[in-house]
């Protein structure tokens, strides 16, 4: 297991000030958050600290104000949404340091919660300026990071503070790091990775890292077309990065030397237009794609064979859909594979860790979000972790 302290390592916290970094960068519609998942994720940490008598100060960013105040990017915009999820009143504090914060801490009772303004209003945040981090740290007794989704940023509130105060992982961060360790840190072999999405170019570093760590690499989505083209398959009018076929071949060679089997579809769903249930839809062998057709999903035979691969594995890490899952029937392979992964997880034979924006949406569409082992809502941080990069916010917690 990665070496970091959790809330279980905290002593008596009554009356102490907890600086808690959370992700409240919520999608908005008509002045309200349209998705409260990120608040739900940090609810446990906030309420646990408050119920133990700490004065909880929430640190968060909201949008990209580029180091300047903006009324529409104040965290006060999401105060009501946070209050609804926590079922507690929160004090909004329009600063992150200085006399106003001092006065607010004096007003807060033990167990009360304050929401500081957008840390990105100050240029020192994104610059990870030591003086800026110190000005915030001056108000706290300890620091808790519960924002894995911001852990790939070396910012004042994600990395700097962890070096200035006793630092702990919040419950959401703890769950995330435990799941990621089980998926690629110290996984049970054999390990399968599903990597999908439109373009190889966005996932090059992921693929190059994974071939040395997993036994089965399953490639889907538009990316698979580039790998098929590299193998000499005519992919017709499909989305394909023909300029990356040499790179795809190099990845397959590296996989071969590492003892990793790369799985590409051998039957596919094709159509002449990208539309729901098109009349031109047909299933064919990859070598039978016409010049005017587009590959839009993995075919049923390949999907069944991939399900059989998962049945031989103990661990699965998944990032990206198998096809154009937003439009039926090109969601078929993604849904079928997701349901297999969920069933194997439920029977206890597979640890399944999934993440990335499209992946979260695809698993929700398949109805398996609650039946896989772990779903990470972090986009960039999850991808950088899959690339094998060190995440500054996590490394800082590990001291």
Tell me the two tokens of residue 154.
């070396």
Q: Find the catalytic residue in 38, 43, 55, 171.
A: 38
Q: Find the catalytic residue in 63, 185, 236, 357.
A: 357
Tell me the two tokens of residue 308.
């059989």
Any catalytic annotation for residue 380? yes
CA dihedral for 212, 213, 214, 220, sign (positive or negative): negative
118 preceded by a cis bond (ω within 30 of 0): no
For 288-347, give the DSSP string. Answer: G--TT-EEEEE-HHHHHHHHHHHHT-SEEEEES-SS-TTSTTTTHHHHHHHHHHHHHHHT
Distance of alpha carbon 118 from alpha carbon 252, whole angstroms: 45
Q: Which residue, among 77, 58, 57, has the nearest Cα to 69 in the 3D structure?
A: 77
Tell me the two tokens of residue 63.
């949008």
Any catalytic annotation for residue 199? yes
Q: Find the catalytic residue in 53, 185, 379, 380.
A: 380
**CA 309 to each of CA 104, 200, 266, 302: distance values in angstroms, whole numbers, following the listed order:** 57, 22, 15, 10
**How far is the first Cα of the chain from the last one, in angstroms, to the nearest whole number?**
15
CA dihedral for 383, 181, 370, 299, sign (positive or negative): positive
Distance of alpha carbon 286 from alpha carbon 331, whole angstroms: 18
Distance of alpha carbon 140 from alpha carbon 21, whole angstroms: 12
Tell me the two tokens of residue 296.
């839009």
Query: Which three-class secondary structure state does DSSP give residue 31?
Result: coil
Any catalytic annotation for residue 379? no
DSSP H or E segment with residue 217: strand 216-219
Q: Find the catalytic residue in 199, 254, 282, 314.
A: 199
Any catalytic annotation for residue 53? no
- Catalytic residue IDs: 38, 199, 357, 380
């Amino acid at each position: 297991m990665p070496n970091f302290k959790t809330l279980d390592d905290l002593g008596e916290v009554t009356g102490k000030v907890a600086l808690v970094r959370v992700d409240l960068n919520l999608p908005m519609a008509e002045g309200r958050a349209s998705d409260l998942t990120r608040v739900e994720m940090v609810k446990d940490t906030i309420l646990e600290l408050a119920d133990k008598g700490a004065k909880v100060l929430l640190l968060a960013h909201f949008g990209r104000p580029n180091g300047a105040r903006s009324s529409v990017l104040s965290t006060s915009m999401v105060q009501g949404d946070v209050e609804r999820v926590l079922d507690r009143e929160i004090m909004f504090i329009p600063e992150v340091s200085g006399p106003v914060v001092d006065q607010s801490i004096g007003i807060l009772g033990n167990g009360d919660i304050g929401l500081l303004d957008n840390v990105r209003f100050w240029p020192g945040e994104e610059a990870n300026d030591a003086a800026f981090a110190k000005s915030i740290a001056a108000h706290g007794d300890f620091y808790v990071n519960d924002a894995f989704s911001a852990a790939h940023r070396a910012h004042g509130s994600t990395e700097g503070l962890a070096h200035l105060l006793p630092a702990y992982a919040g419950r959401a961060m703890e769950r995330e790091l435990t799941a990621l360790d089980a998926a690629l840190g110290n996984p049970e072999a054999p390990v399968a990775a599903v990597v999908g999405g439109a373009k190889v170019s966005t996932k090059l570093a992921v693929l190059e890292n994974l071939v040395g760590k997993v036994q089965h690499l399953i490639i889907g989505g538009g990316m698979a077309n580039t790998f098929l083209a590299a193998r000499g398959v005519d992919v017709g009018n499909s989305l394909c990065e023909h300029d990356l076929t040499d790179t795809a071949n190099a990845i397959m060679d590296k996989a071969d030397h590492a003892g990793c089997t790369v799985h590409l579809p051998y039957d596919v769903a094709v159509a002449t237009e990208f539309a729901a249930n098109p009349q031109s839809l047909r299933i064919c062998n990859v070598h039978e794609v016409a010049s005017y057709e587009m590959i839009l999903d993995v075919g049923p035979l390949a999907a069944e064979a991939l399900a059989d691969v998962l049945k031989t594995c103990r661990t699965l890490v998944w990032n990206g859909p198998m096809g154009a899952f937003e439009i039926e029937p090109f969601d078929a392979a993604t849904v079928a594979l997701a349901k297999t992964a969920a069933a194997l997880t439920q029977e206890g034979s597979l640890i399944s860790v999934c993440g990335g924006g499209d992946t979260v949406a695809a698993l929700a569409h398949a109805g398996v979000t609650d039946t896989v082992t772990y779903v990470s809502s972090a986009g960039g941080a999850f991808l950088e972790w899959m690339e094998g990069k060190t995440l500054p916010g996590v490394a800082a917690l590990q001291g």
